[in-house]
Amino acid sequence: MDGHFNKLTPAEAERLAMLAEECGEVIQMIGKILRHGYDSYHPNDPSTTNRQLLGRELTDLLAVAAALCRDNVPEGSLHDQDQAWERKLRYAHHQEELVVECP
Ligand SMILES: [Mg+2]
């Protein structure tokens, strides 16, 4: 018996591990911001706010997500993203101001 039951190549498994790791890092930053605010910072690094750290983690996440095209994971177009946001707005309570495009 050779290969893994999930039939993932080592590269595919690694990309999924990277994706999970980046999702976790984004979630961690969301938790920090919910507890301490966007403009708070780690006491050991006052030069970097939670807002900046969230931006970095989102960049990491988007980079890894883009690499999943190698695994034929469909990548949503900007139009798909707009439609997804519109669906989210149907069940949101405080997003009225974001119906207009973000700066
Ligand atoms: Mg990261």
Query: In a structure prediction context, what are the per-residue pLDDT tens digits for the chain, which is 103 residues long?
Result: 578 999 999 999 999 999 999 999 999 999 999 999 999 999 999 999 999 999 999 999 999 999 999 999 998 889 999 999 999 999 999 987 655 555 5
Tell me the CA–centroid distance for residue 36 and ligand 1, in Å.
Answer: 20
pTM for the whole thing? Answer: 0.86
Tell me the CA–centroid distance for residue 22 and ligand 1, in Å.
Answer: 5
What pLDDT score does 2 carry? 72
Tell me the CA–centroid distance for residue 57 and ligand 1, in Å.
Answer: 5
What pLDDT score does 97 carry? 61
The closest of 64, 63, 72 to 16, measured between CA atoms, is 64
What pLDDT score does 75 carry? 85
Number of other residues whose CB lies within 10 A of the CB of residue 50: 21
Tell me the CA–centroid distance for residue 64 and ligand 1, in Å.
Answer: 10
DSSP state for residue 49 in the 8-state scheme: B
Is-contact 49 41, C-beta < 8 A? yes
The closest of 85, 67, 93 to 14, measured between CA atoms, is 67
Tell me the CA–centroid distance for residue 56 and ligand 1, in Å.
Answer: 7
Is-contact 57 22, C-beta < 8 A? yes
